[in-house]
Chains A and B, each alone.
Chain A
Amino acid sequence: MSLDVDAGRTRLRPVPPGPHRHRQSGRRHLLSWLDMRATPYLFVSPYFVLFALFGLFPLVFTLWVSLHEWQLAGDRDFIGMENYTQLLADTKFWNSVGNTVGIFVLATVPQLLIALLLANALNKRLRGRLVLRLSVLIPLVTSVVAVGVIFTQLYARDYGLVNWLLGTLGVEPIHWQNQKWSSWIAIATMVDWRWTGYNAIIYLAGMQTISKDIYEAASIDGATPRRQFWTITVPLLKPTIIFTVIVSTIGGFTLFAEPVIFGGGGMTGGTVGQFQTVAMFIVKEAFRDFDYGYAAAAAWILFLLILIAALINFAITRGLGRSR
């Protein structure tokens, strides 16, 4: 990071000297006072105007829509909480919640554990460490849709590589889309493939802020590398782990592209919704069945679920560190 600021400063034009200077000074004072007072607001306003229009307004309006029977044709009747009570009794909605949570747990737990071990390995003295770091990050720069396409082919029933490999071990070909467990595993591996390296690099950054002296002291006391990993590295990484858990929660609960591509492009998530996520449910209700009110209510429940899940995960992660 070069501080190229001096070059910038010399380019500033000095105040022009001249006879007009005194007469103008009153106006100049006013202008500079205005500049000091108003310009900061001017500079932050583009963000906040856009946020108000395309962030806050949709959020509030979603709440408003969710209290209505709001169809495409223009029937808009206020029905209070009816969309919500109907949703809470809708087995299809709960099925999509179950799928989302299931895939989230199946993907995130192994992902973060592997990322921790991977970061620990990348933190060692190694030849070609930059190449290694880059190679574990390649999945991150692959688009989510591409990941969906590639893995769906790898999991294809008839000529997929996964079934071929399992076949050499004597396993019968699996139709991965057909069952809950198999579709969840397939989708979870897509998520893991794309994000494990990212989380490992984040953990690696955290690990490098831990002082080497602590490890040296522990070594002198005879602690094995494995013990040092669990008693020094993991507890000291807790803030970073909490960060990744929260990010994974938001990402996991809004999962959309992978299951859509895995199911061939539709919003149903398999023949009986084996892998329909909440995001797919919302899009299906709003833009396939045109029941906007119902979809809006589902969006708000999804938001509440994310908040609850983030809080639970936050508590678990904090507790884990303490018990060690």
Chain B
Amino acid sequence: MTTLQHSRQGARRRRASTPAAGDVFKATVLTKVMLGFTAILSIFPIYWMIIIATRSNADVHSIPPPLLPGGNLGENVRAVFAAENAHFMTGIINSVIVTASVTAAVVLISTLAGFAFASLQFRGRNVLLLSVVLTMMVPLQQMGVVPLYQMMVTLGWTNTLQAVILPFLVNGFGVFLMTQYTRQAVPRELIEAARVDGASTLRIWWNVVVPAVRPGMAVLSIQTFMLIWNEFLWPLIILRADNPTVQVAIRALNEKYSTNYVLVFAGTALSIIPLLLVFVFFGRQIIGGLMDGAVKS
């Protein structure tokens, strides 16, 4: 958010002070055409999904293809929930539970660790922080599927939601993000002043740090939510077909009703509604978070 504001101020200043040098930042017609084209390309597949989800299968097979939404959405959505082999409703409920638990836990774990790394003194701090950053580079979920699966078999947790949730709590990126954010948002002096007042570390965290890093927690929540809602490989392996997450349910729809496009697309459209809602309400924060993160790393 701040980045956007800065840039806007920057643009205004540029225009005011040096009109001649503004040339490089002037959008040519070609630039505008290219941007318009890109925007259309970005939005079209989602628009196409909505068209198909609201049509009938006969429409889908017509030539030229339909370019406007139809009136079959309700019927298609009912068919999705009625599709016996997909367990779509279970999928949605499971995804909500998994995503909510992982997001809450990751934000809590990261905010605690981020505070310790950013503001507290302890032996081994730098080595531990470095190990967090290094492990961000390892594709844990892909590499560890075999032992993770066997671990869950041993514990008797296959086909349970905790088996899906637990491995996703390892989120080095979250710890790194909250460390950076706490460093920037909570001055050392503030912590020391609270200590002089006799506050314990836990109390300082709750009363001083958490209120100050709330925007960072929001960015992390949004990113974790999107990441986990999309997760496909691990739930596909650990859950049975009758107890899926929403992404696994879509794969089942796609596999078992592959020619029934309107059904598959209606399910797909339903599955991205939460993501689109997040985007509509927090779009600026998403961009701000991405841009902030990019400059820092």
Contacts and interface: CB of A to CB of B under 8 A. Distances in A.
Interface of A: 1-5, 7-9, 11-12, 14-15, 32, 35-37, 39-41, 43-44, 46-48, 50-51, 53-55, 57-59, 61-62, 65, 117-118, 121-126, 130, 132-154, 158-159, 161, 164, 193, 197-198, 201-202, 204-206, 208-209, 212, 215-216, 218-220, 225, 228, 240, 243, 246, 250, 253-254, 256-257, 260-261, 264-266, 279, 282-283, 286-287, 292, 295-296, 299-300, 302-303, 306, 310
Contacts of A132: 35, 39
Contacts of A126: 27, 32, 35
Contacts of B23: 219, 225
B112 A35 contact: no
B78 interface: no
A61 B135 CA distance: 16
B3 A265 contact: no
Contact of A283 (B120, B145, B148, B261): B145
Given A212-B10, A212-B14, A43 B24 contact: no
Contacts of A7: 211
A58 B147 contact: yes
B188 interface: no
Interface in B11-55: 11, 14-15, 18, 20-27, 31-32, 34-35, 38-39, 41-43, 45-46, 48-49, 52
Contacts of B63: 159, 164
B283 A134 contact: yes
For the complex of A and B, 7 pairs with smallest distance between CB atoms: A58-B144, A205-B291, A265-B255, A40-B122, A61-B147, A216-B21, A43-B116
Given A143-B271, A146-B268, A219-B23, A4 B214 contact: yes
Given A43-B113, A216-B21, A1 B268 contact: no
Contact of A299 (B137, B143, B201): B143
B212 to A, nearest CB: 5
Given A121-B31, A201-B290, A206 B142 contact: no
A133 B205 CA distance: 36
A201 B38 CA distance: 13
29 contacts: A1-B185, A4-B211, A5-B211, A11-B207, A39-B120, A40-B121, A43-B120, A47-B170, A50-B169, A51-B170, A58-B147, A58-B151, A118-B34, A121-B27, A125-B22, A125-B25, A135-B43, A144-B247, A159-B60, A161-B48, A215-B24, A257-B232, A261-B254, A286-B146, A287-B237, A299-B142, A299-B145, A303-B138, A303-B139
Contact of A153 (B15, B265, B286): B265
B157 interface: no
